[in-house]
């Protein structure tokens, strides 16, 4: 999938994994543990890379996760799989306009809201981004100003809380390291968690810019507000894409860029 070379064995292993997993999930007496969740999340990763994404494994992952209340609080493999599942749900909800399939409130019990590693900061903003998406773009969603402003404050507080090393160590809005002008800003960060965190910070801001309640009020200044919102959203979009392009070793950042651009119909 990554190299573009035909792989005849991946589908065989995928089918074999399903033959093992499905009977376990169908058995009401079986023990639903972190290993099953991790297996389901890995199958979803495979499904994401297929030519046709049916979302079958995403539904299965969400049902499994929602039925086990302690996955996120257990730490270790179960918590790691839970955060990957959240990103998977965010991506499919973003591009298809569907509601989130996992209970976002359960994620607040994670140690990511206590610990202060780079991964924890990334997890926090990804959850906030999901909350923005659900509140502002869920089916029938039309947030009032208080809800929208509260979400905006959460996003801003995240940015204010990150340590100094979490900010880009190099940012150039005009040219690459070779001096060639780039259409997107060159933004370099220290590790993948920082790239993913900052990228979802930009995505959350984009969603907030385009869902501002003032944009839908009949007013002489509405056009002015929409122009300002479009400009701000485009600026954050450029940064998010720049993060994906200029940190090529972070594969997840490339996926995020793809989903954002697909949603924007580029």
Rounded CA-CA distance 1/17 in Å is 18
Contact 188, 246 (CB under 8 A): yes
Count CB-CB contacts under 10 A for residue 86: 22
Name the E strands within the chain: 170-172, 186-188
pLDDT for position 1 = 47
Q: Per-residue pLDDT averaged across 143-167, rounded? A: 93
**pLDDT greater than 70 at residue 55:** no
Beta bridge partners of 187: 171
Contacts of 59 (CB under 8 A, 6+ apart): 101
pLDDT for position 77 = 84
Map residue 170 onto helix, strand or coil: strand
> How sure is the predictor about 2, in pLDDT bands with cuts at 50, 70 and 90?
low
**pLDDT greater than 70 at residue 180:** no
The pLDDT tens digits for 212-253 are 888 877 777 888 888 999 999 999 999 999 999 999 999 888
> How sure is the predictor about 146, in pLDDT bands with cuts at 50, 70 and 90?
very high
Q: Per-residue pLDDT averaged across 26-30, rounded? A: 62
Contact 37, 81 (CB under 8 A): yes
Q: What average pLDDT does the chain have?
A: 83
Beta bridge partners of 69: none
CA angle 243-57-62, nearest 5°?
Answer: 85
pLDDT for position 44 = 83
Beta bridge partners of 186: 172
Structure tokens at 61: 């992952």
* CA atoms 146, 144, 149, 197: torsion sign: positive
Contact 197, 208 (CB under 8 A): no
**pLDDT greater than 90 at residue 101:** no
**pLDDT greater than 80 at residue 52:** no
How many alpha carbons lie under 13 Å from residue 263 in its C-beta half-sphere? 22
The rounded Cα 207 to chain-centroid distance in angstroms is: 12
């Amino acid at each position: 999938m990554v190299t573009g070379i035909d792989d005849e064995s991946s589908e065989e292993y995928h089918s074999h994994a399903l033959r093992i997993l499905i009977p376990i999930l169908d058995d009401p007496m079986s023990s639903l543990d972190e290993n099953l969740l991790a297996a389901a999340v890995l199958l979803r990763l495979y499904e994401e890379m297929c030519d046709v994404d049916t979302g079958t494994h995403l539904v299965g992952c969400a049902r499994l996760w929602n039925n086990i209340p302690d996955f996120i609080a257990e730490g270790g493999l179960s918590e790691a799989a839970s955060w990957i599942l959240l990103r998977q749900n965010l991506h499919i909800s973003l591009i298809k306009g569907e509601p989130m399939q996992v209970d976002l409130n359960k994620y607040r019990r994670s140690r990511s809201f206590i610990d202060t590693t780079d991964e924890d900061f990334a997890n926090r903003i990804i959850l906030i981004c999901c909350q923005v998406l659900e509140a502002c773009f869920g089916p029938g969603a039309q947030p009032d100003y208080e809800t929208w402003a509260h979400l905006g404050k959460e996003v801003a507080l995240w940015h204010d809380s990150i340590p100094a090393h979490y900010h880009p160590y190099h940012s150039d809005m005009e040219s690459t390291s070779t001096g060639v002008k780039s259409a997107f800003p060159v933004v370099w960060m220290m590790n993948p968690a920082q790239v993913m965190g900052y990228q979802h910070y930009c995505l959350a801001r984009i969603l907030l810019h385009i869902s501002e309640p003032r944009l839908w009020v009949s007013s002489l200044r509405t056009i002015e507000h929409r122009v300002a919102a479009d400009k701000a959203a485009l600026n954050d979009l450029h940064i998010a894409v720049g993060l994906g392009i200029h940190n090529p070793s972070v594969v997840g950042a490339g996926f995020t860029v793809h989903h954002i651009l697909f949603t924007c119909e580029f």
